[in-house]
Amino acid sequence: MILKCIMTLIIFVIAPFLLGLLITNFLKKEKYNLLFAILIGYLVEFAICELISVPMIFMGKNFIFLFKTYVIIVGILMIISIIINRNNFKEIFYATIKGFKNLPKILSAVCIILIAFQIYMFVAYTHIDDDDAFYIGSITTTLQTNSLYKYSPTTGSTSGEHLDLRYRLAPFPLLMTIVSKLINMHPDIVSHIVFPIFILPVIYTVYYLLAKKIFNEDIKSSIIFVIIINILNIFSGYSNRTPGAFLLFRIWQGKALLCNLILPAIWLVVLKASENNYNLVYCIILIILNTAGNLTTTMAIGLSPIVLVSLVFVLEFVNFKPKKFITNMIKSVICCLPSIVYGLIYFL
């Protein structure tokens, strides 16, 4: 049990933190931003899984090969991050402590209680979702057969819904399979309990960072914004199609991550990128974000570029300068290349 807890912390906290630092180390304003680093780290993990798993599915590789490849790549990147950022950990620690001290205590406590309540509901109760027959079934089938989308998770046949490109191009269950294998825990427990415990704070971190951009670094207004989002999500059960319902009923499914993590993250990164004239580092982040979105669901192939390019268009149109407008619009399209490639694969 102790080993499982240690592995869980490494997978959901330490690994994203170190992977994120590989990117934020090159951003002057975000160099010591712990929350932004962890967010970027999760996106890097998603992107790596997408880039290596899709080719392996089509090549007919087994799961152990994917598992070892993913662990080696992430492990090497973590080591590189430690070497590059070895002199920055102290500053990150002090900057984080200073940031916590500046938080309004009462509002922060209310926000933490609301998030903790939602996590408690995941741990103490469970939502039985019909789609788990495929999503959780895909994870257990992959583990049991050591294959990648070779057998139907519902019938065990070699022909079936698992051959549909919308699943093979967005194999988010494979990432959950890797996590289950690393922790040595049943996929149902990982998906319904462990994953929500860590991903829920990350999602609200996106809203907090986004609010800070909207309210010009006003921390009090940002916390109030996150509290309102919490309340809206908690009372969003009036339909099973709302983002809040997807968040609290089935966040372990890729389509829930698209609307609650990927799309808000696109808003956040585009706003940050616009302030830095879409420099190379932010363009790389947007490419990573676009790739990470494609892992969650094939809906991201269309939705992510639409949101990204539309936001860039509006921001550039407000302060219209012909040369700058054209240049940044071209950059935004380039950042959507992963979706364009997967879109061509899907339709052709």
Backbone angles phi, psi at 53, to 5 degrees: -80, -40
Q: Are 312 and 332 in contact (CB under 8 A)?
A: yes
Number of H helices, E strands in the chain: 19, 0
State both tokens at 304.
Answer: 């992510």
Burial call 44-66: b when 16+ CB within 10 Å, e when fewer: bbbbbbbbbbbebbeeebebeeb
CB atoms within 10 A of CB 168: 18
State both tokens at 285.
Answer: 């982040």
Q: What is the pTM of this model?
A: 0.96
State both tokens at 71.
Answer: 């662990």
Q: Are 271 and 216 in contact (CB under 8 A)?
A: no
pLDDT at 286: 97
**pLDDT string in tens for the chain (348-residue length):** 889 999 999 999 999 999 999 999 999 889 999 999 999 999 999 999 999 999 999 999 999 999 999 999 999 999 999 999 999 999 999 999 998 988 999 999 999 999 999 999 999 998 888 889 899 999 999 999 999 999 999 888 888 888 889 899 999 999 999 999 999 999 999 999 999 999 999 999 999 999 999 999 999 999 999 999 999 999 999 988 899 999 999 999 999 999 999 999 999 999 999 999 899 999 999 999 999 999 999 999 999 999 999 999 999 999 889 999 999 999 999 999 999 999 999 988
**Alpha-carbon gap, residue 248 to 117, rounded angstroms:** 11
**Alpha-carbon gap, residue 335 to 105, rounded angstroms:** 39
pLDDT at 283: 96
pLDDT at 252: 93
At which residue do the structure tokens 């269950």 appear?
173
pLDDT at 116: 97
At which residue do the structure tokens 């939602």 appear?
118
At which residue do the structure tokens 């089938």 appear?
141
**Residue 271: closest CA among 211, 321, 320, 230:** 211
The DSSP secondary-structure symbol of 278 reads: T
**Alpha-carbon gap, residue 279 to 275, rounded angstroms:** 9
- Please spell the DSSP secondary structure of 12-74, one letter per residue: IIIHHHHHHHHHHTT-TTTTT-HHHHHHHHHHHHHHHHHHHHHHHHHHT--HHHHHHHHHHHH
